[in-house]
Amino acid sequence: MDATTRYRPFIYDVFLSFIREDTHRGFTFYLYKALNDRGIYTFFYDQELPRETEVTPGLYKAILASRVAIIVLSENYAFSSFCLDELVTILHCEREVIPVFHNVDPSDVRHQKGSYGEAMAKHQKRFKAKKLQKWRMALKQVANLCGYHFKDGGSYEYMLIGRIVKQVSRMFGLASLHVADYPVGLESQVTEVMKLLDVGSDDVVHIIGIHGMGGLGKTTLAMAVYNFIAPHFDESCFLQNVREESNKHGLKHLQSVLLSKLLGEKDITLTSWQEGASMIQHRLRLKKILLILDDVDKREQLKAIVGKPDWFGPGSRVIITTRDKHLLKYHEVERTYEVNVLNHDDAFQLLTWNAFKREKIDPSYKDVLNRVVTYASGLPLALEVIGSNLYGKTVAEWESALETYKRIPSNEILKILEVSFDALEEEQKNVFLDIACCFKGYKWTEVYDIFRALYSNCKMHHIGVLVEKSLLLKVSWRDNVEMHDLIQDMGRDIERQRSPEEPGKCKRLWSPKDIIQVLKHNTGTSKLEIICLDSSISDKEETVEWNENAFMKMENLKILIIRNGKFSKGPNYFPEGLRVLEWHRYPSNCLPSNFDPINLVICKLPDSSITSLEFHGSSKKLGHLTVLKFDKCKFLTQIPDVSDLPNLRELSFEAYEFSASQLDLS
């Protein structure tokens, strides 16, 4: 069927041509029902007509309005001049035709032998030679088409009906899914997944996992694979948006949809998901099926729908897409494929197609397009959203939009990415926000120390959860903390929304502008727990004038890290609960007189003006201290007695470093 024919405004999917007296109450009726049950709208003329009736204008219109004709050539079909005229009309309209030879031999139809010879001999007495010639040509033409042959005792009618329905479904693309307008970089990914599927092995069942962060195109990849291999299976089903659908309608609904699709039955009612699991296991165990579970986020979903491989017949394949790699591990899915970001060339191509709907562009756009590609960091979702939003815009408008995206990320992008965050437990959310807002790019060893200081018990096991849920990139303790830029933007946006107008009421501050505003105007509150100034305040280093009493309102401040910025003076006050103090170029020669370091775990004051480090009271107050650093402190002359600090692991000053094992701490 060519594209022109396929997309005409048809009314019917199928036109059924048959003679009532042979198959009306049996084969043809059941074929009609099976087609309609599959959602294939079928014209079925149920009125009894004399054999000599001509094709009426209404029936002619029905033929014209149908995309496919199925002609049931039974024993008495040719005795009806009406059926023969109908056949001529169908062939003249150049419809896609599927002949079904029901208890007749195709050669008898082709050469008009047997009952077809008798019928034509009878017609010869009543009709003109011209009409007879048209009928003979039509019978010969339809007999030469590829079709189906049914003979009593040879097979079961229901099996033949199933094959016909399946063919029609494929012809209409009912088994095909729209993949992408611009499938850039998809071909190589499909190839890799196909290797894992090993479709040619019909003696085993394979369950495949496709995982990665939101917006990478996991669903798109699964759709492309589905379209490619669906014809190799008895039945196929793509369950999209499993997370959303199960939240809205429950697992029973998903199970009913699956069973209806794969069994061809309507109105499957389940009393519990356990009943649904049992029905899937028993009714599908002999079927070779293809099943896609898209966007799975809970173990219960897998347990209810794909409990074990033996739930499905040999040769079956199940593909699971998820953001959570741990779900695949838990379900013992060994064959997995991780979807990664696009390389620069593919990202540039995808952006170009979405923004201009063509491959070649005006060279004046090249620079800004490259900067958008850098901003999107290879995320297809971002490239598609930004490209489509800026379609038809000038270079100046692109420039302006890019600056806006950097300050305020697109809600359309953030909404997709936030799904992974919403699935976290509360403690996991806190660890994620700490990293996204403040610690991306830090050494993992530093983050480990900070988390030990920040939380009463170490939360490092949550890091593994963030990696499995595709919110963090793989962890190597020798490297820096890596997170996709737009995932970081998403986390920072979540934190910023706590108090968009008054940053001092947020839990975490990282923006130089917000930090300076809070310190200058003394607008901090007890909600603040982390201040991390780790980027330049301005292009030109200027001395920051601030309120030295700004920390007095921040009674719950636990982490204060200032790595950039030249401050005019030192603080008058530090909160007692401070656990991490890191201040490069600390602007005073001593710490505030009020500061009680009882909770201090990490203290780093490199390149500072400090001359002596004295904590008022006994040095035993430093019992939690693990890291003490004074690198490049030219004026430092005195530090506390550290010989009785049981937890001190690292002490560093000037150009020398000592490990705990090299110090006499007895």
Query: In whole angstroms, what is the distance from residue 53 CA to residue 587 CA?
Result: 104
Q: Work out the number of other CB atoms within 10 angstroms of the CB of residue 39.
A: 10
Query: In whole angstroms, what is the distance from residue 186 CA to residue 183 CA?
Result: 6
What are the C-alpha distances in Å from 327 to residues 229, 461, 619?
A: 25, 16, 49
Do 5 and 67 contact (CB within 8 A), yes or no?
A: yes
The one-letter amino acid code at 406 reads: K
427 as an active site residue: the answer is no
* Catalytic residue of the set 21, 54, 86, 555: 86
Q: At what angle do helices 81-92 and 57-64 cross, to 10 degrees?
A: 40
438: Cα separation from own chain's centroid: 27
Do 628 and 652 contact (CB within 8 A), yes or no?
A: yes
Which of 221, 437, 194 is CA-nearest to residue 322?
A: 221
3-state secondary structure of 336: strand
- Tell me 443's DSSP state: B
Phi first, then psi: give them for residue 65, nearest 5 degrees. Answer: -90, 5
Q: Which residue has the tokens 């990139």?
A: 473
Which of 37, 39, 33 is CA-nearest to residue 16?
A: 33
Do 544 and 565 contact (CB within 8 A), yes or no?
A: yes
Do 579 and 453 contact (CB within 8 A), yes or no?
A: yes
Query: In whole angstroms, what is the distance from residue 430 CA to residue 417 CA?
Result: 17
User: 286's torsion region: left (phi>0), alpha (psi -120 to 50) or beta?
Assistant: alpha
Do 628 and 603 contact (CB within 8 A), yes or no?
A: yes
Dihedral sign, CA of 216, 219, 222, 224?
negative
In 331-480 the beta strands, taken as DSSP E runs, fall at 335-338
- Tell me 509's DSSP state: E
Name residues whose C-beta falls within 8 Å of residue 380's C-beta, 6 or more positions apart in sequence: 184, 215, 216, 217, 220, 342, 347, 350
Catalytic residues: 86
